[in-house]
């Protein structure tokens, strides 16, 4: 699986390597990236951060940007839009907005328990290669190809700390 890149103040996620390969090479579909998200090396998508809030040991992040996988004349249409992440020592979730509605979140993956690493110079916090599994609510988003609990690409988050 692809790992996170070094861009600060962003979520890094490759969704699932086999999905990207299937859509772009086998199904001859498209992968569209817009709204601030960028595709980096190895198919890792970076979503810039809008907001970060610490709540006890947990962090809540809001990111911006969209990645859409489209194939089979629209029968496959997977949209990851303005993802939101909650992560902490007890685990977390990555969710996406659905149906163009900013109030409607769908849990896409469950995130393994993770605490950030405080870089030695104290300028940033990093969650790197945190394991994820497909959430039951997102099975339909992926066309029921992957069952709940399927390993998805790990996530990475890097945030700069204010001085």
Q: Which of 36, 44, 52 is nearest to 20 (CA)?
A: 44
Q: pLDDT-derived band of residue 148, with 50, 70 and 90 as boundaries?
A: very high
Q: Is the pLDDT of residue 13 over 90?
A: yes
Decide: 61 and 30 in contact? Cβ < 8 Å: no
- pTM, full prediction: 0.89
The tens digit of pLDDT for each residue in 105-124 reads 899 999 998 888 876 577 88
Provide CB contacts within 8 A for 150, sequence distance 6+: 16, 133, 134
Read off the pLDDT band of 5 (50, 70, 90). very low
* Domain-wise residue ranges, the chain: 10-160
User: What is the average per-residue pLDDT within 79-96?
Assistant: 94
Lowest mean pLDDT among 19-23, 66-70, 98-102, 129-133: 98-102
The pLDDT of residue 102 is: 62
What's the average model confidence in pLDDT over 44-55?
Answer: 94
Spatial contact of 161 and 125, defined as CB atoms under 8 Å apart: yes
């Amino acid at each position: 699986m692809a790992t996170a890149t070094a861009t600060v103040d962003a979520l890094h996620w490759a969704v699932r390597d086999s999905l990207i390969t299937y859509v772009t090479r086998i199904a001859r579909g498209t992968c569209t990236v817009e709204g601030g998200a960028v595709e980096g090396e190895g198919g890792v998508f970076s979503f810039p951060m809008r907001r970060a809030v610490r709540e006890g040991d947990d962090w809540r992040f809001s990111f911006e940007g969209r990645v859409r996988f489209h194939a089979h004349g629209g029968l496959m249409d997977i949209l990851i839009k303005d993802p939101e992440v909650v992560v902490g020592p007890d685990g977390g979730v990555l969710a996406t907005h659905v149906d163009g509605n900013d109030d409607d979140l769908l849990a896409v993956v469950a995130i393994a328990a993770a605490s950030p690493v405080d870089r030695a110079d104290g300028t940033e916090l990093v969650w790197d290669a945190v394991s994820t599994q497909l959430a039951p609510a997102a099975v339909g988003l992926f066309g029921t190809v992957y069952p709940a609990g399927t390993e998805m690409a790990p996530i990475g988050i890097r945030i700069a700390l204010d001085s």
